[in-house]
Amino acid sequence: MDSIIVTGNGPLKGKISITGAKNACLALMPVTLLTDEPVTLTNAPILSDIKTADALLSSLGTEVTFLNGGRVLVLSSHNLNSSHADYDIVRKMRASNLVLGPLLARTGEAVVSLPGGCAIGARPMDLHIGALESLGASIELKDGYLHAKSKGRLKAGTFTMRMASVGATENFIMAATLANGTSILKNAAKEPEIVDLVKCLRSMGAQIQGEGSSRIEIQGVESLSGTTHPVVVDRIELGTYMIAPAIAGGEVDLIGGKKELLGKFWGCLQRAGLDISETSDGIKARKVDDLIKPVNVKTEVYPGFATDLQAQFMALMCLADGTSHLEETLFENRFMHAPELMRMGAKIEVQGGIAKVQGVSRLKGAPVMATDLRASVSLILAGLAADGETKVARVYHLDRGYENLVGKLSDVGANIKRISD
C-alpha cells in the first residue's frame, strides 16, 4: 500500500493547472444512459472514481472509450443490456447511485445497490427515492438493492426536498428530462456541478430552466441526442491548492480557476490573510503576511463554505494566530482528520459538530493515516509547513479525487514523494 512523504521545504512558487471536476464528471457520465447517441466529455479528470464509473456503466452495456490519455471520454449506450447496478461496483463510490434516474427514464426499470464511498456519515437515499417517486416511479428496498419501476414513460411531477441534496437534484433532473410534462424541483441544490450537468443536457435537447437557483423546471422531451461537453473545473481541487501557499508561504497561479466556483470560501481565505486575485488565465494566491488570522467557518450547501474544503481549512487554522471554530453541518463523523493533525502538534478539541482549533506556531512531522479523501489531502497540506518529515499512509483515498497531486505540488517547489510500502 502506498504512502506519501512530505518534508517542510519553505515557500511555493509556480503554476498548477486545475483539472475537470470529479463530482461533475461523475454526474455527466450517466447522461449517456438517456440517449442512444454518443456523448463525449472533454477535460475529464484521470482518477480512480472515473474508472469505477466506467466499470459500472460498462456493466450496463455502455461502451466507454478513453482518448487523449484519459482526458476525453466517449460514451455510447446504444446497446444497453442490463439495468442492474451491482453491489461489488456501487459499494466503492457513492456517486454510483446517479444511474438510478437515467436508467428508470430510459428503460422503465432499475435495480441499484445502496451506495458506498468515504465513511463520513450516513447519507440517506430517501431524497432520491422521494424525488423519483414524484415522477411516477415505484421503488422498494429489497436485500440491499433499490428496485425501481415505472409503468411506461415517467410522468411529470413536483417535489420539494427537505434539504438541498446534490445527488438527488441530479437524479431528478436526469429522470425528468424524458418524463411526460413539466416537472418542478423545489429547494434544489445550486452547486456548479448542477449547472454544468444542465448545460450538458440542454446541449442534448433537454428543456430546463432555473439551474443555479432553488427552483428548477424541466419540460420533458421524447428523446435526447448526443453531444460534446467540457467538464467544469474542479472547485475543490482549486480551493485545496489555494490553501497550499497560505500554509507553506509563497505564490501560486491556479490555471483555469474561477472565483464564482468558490462561494464563501474565497472570503474566508481573504480573512485568513491570503492575497487572492483573478487573472487572465485563472487565480493567483499569494501569502503576504507571516501571521495566519483565525477564521470561524460553518459548512453549508453552495454558495456556502464547502464541506469538502473543511479538512483543508482546518489544517490552515492549525497554524493561525489565535482560536478558530469550524462547524460541520452537512455530515456527521467528518472530523476524523483532527486526531491525525494532533499527532503533528495541532491543538484541536472536537465536540459534536464543532471543532475548536487553537493555532500553534509550528507543526511537527509525524506518521499519520488518511481516513477519507479530503482528510488525506489536509495532512499533506499540514506536512508542507511542518518541521521534518510527515508520512501519510493509506493514500489510496487520495487517488479518488486528486489527479497527480505529488507532481503538481513538486512542480511548485514542495518536497513530496510517493512510495510503495
Confidence at 397, pLDDT banded by 50, 70, 90: confident
Mean pLDDT for the chain overall: 95
Give the 3-state secondary structure of residue 372: coil
Residue 271: φ, ψ to 5°: -65, -30
Give the 3-state secondary structure of residue 2: strand
C-alpha cell at position 67: 482518448
Cell 450538458, residue?
200
In this prediction, residue 116 carries a pLDDT of 56
Q: Report the amino acid identity of residue 8.
A: G
**Greater pLDDT, 362 or 375:** 362
Confidence at 91, pLDDT banded by 50, 70, 90: confident
In this prediction, residue 297 carries a pLDDT of 98
In this prediction, residue 121 carries a pLDDT of 45
Report the b/e string of 176-194 with b at 16+ CB within 10 A: bbbbbeebbbebbbbbbbb
pLDDT over 70 at 100, yes or no: yes
Average pLDDT over residues 196-221: 98
Q: For the segment 269-312, what is each residue's pLDDT rounded down to a tens digit? A: 999 999 999 999 999 999 999 999 999 999 999 999 999 999 99
Domains 2-19+233-420 and 22-230 share a fold: yes
In this prediction, residue 111 carries a pLDDT of 96
Residue 33 to residue 274: CA distance in whole angstroms: 44
Confidence at 118, pLDDT banded by 50, 70, 90: very low
pLDDT over 70 at 45, yes or no: yes
Task: Write the DSSP string, 238-263.
Answer: HHHHHHHHHHH-EEEEEET--GGGST
| % the chain with pLDDT above 90 | 90
DSSP 34: G
- Superfamily classification of domain 22-230: Enolpyruvate transferase domain (3.65.10.10)
Cell 506519501, residue?
4
Q: Which strands, in side-by-side order, build the sheet including 389-393?
A: 367-369, 389-393, 2-7, 415-420
Q: How many beta carbons lie within 10 A of that of residue 340, not counting itself?
A: 24
Confidence at 372, pLDDT banded by 50, 70, 90: confident
End-to-end CA distance of the chain: 6
The interaxial angle of helices 265-272 and 310-317, nearest 10 deg, is: 10
Residue 307 to residue 310: CA distance in whole angstroms: 5
pLDDT over 90 at 30, yes or no: yes
Q: Class for domain 2-19+233-420, per CATH?
A: alpha beta
Residue 100 to residue 37: CA distance in whole angstroms: 19
Given the residues 118, 200, 268, 318, select the one marked as catalytic: 118
DSSP 107: H
Please compute, for residue 315, the number of CA atoms within 13 A of its CA located in the half-sphere on the CB side.
31
pLDDT over 70 at 119, yes or no: no
In this prediction, residue 38 carries a pLDDT of 98
The interaxial angle of helices 235-248 and 310-317, nearest 10 deg, is: 10
Cα dist. 76→32, 39, 41, 176 in Å?
A: 6, 6, 11, 21
DSSP 322: S
Which residues on neighbouring strands pair with residue 76, listed in sequence order?
Answer: 63
Residue 36 to residue 304: CA distance in whole angstroms: 38
Residue 234 to residue 19: CA distance in whole angstroms: 6
Average pLDDT over residues 209-217: 98
Active site residue 25: no
> Residue 303, preceding bond cis, omega within 30 degrees?
yes
Average pLDDT over residues 365-387: 94
pTM above 0.75, yes or no: yes
pLDDT over 90 at 325, yes or no: yes
For residue 226, what are the contacts with CB-CB under 8 A and spacing of at least 6? 35, 37, 38, 39, 40, 204
C-alpha cell at position 256: 483555469
Dihedral over alpha carbons 273, 275, 278, 280 (to 10 degrees): -160
254 contacts 238 by C-beta, under 8 angstroms: yes
Q: Where are the domains of the chain?
A: 2-19+233-420, 22-230
**8-17, 345-354, 395-404: which has the minimum mean pLDDT?**
395-404
Residue 356 to residue 23: CA distance in whole angstroms: 29
Task: Kindly give the pairing relationship between strand 72-76 and strand 63-67.
Answer: antiparallel
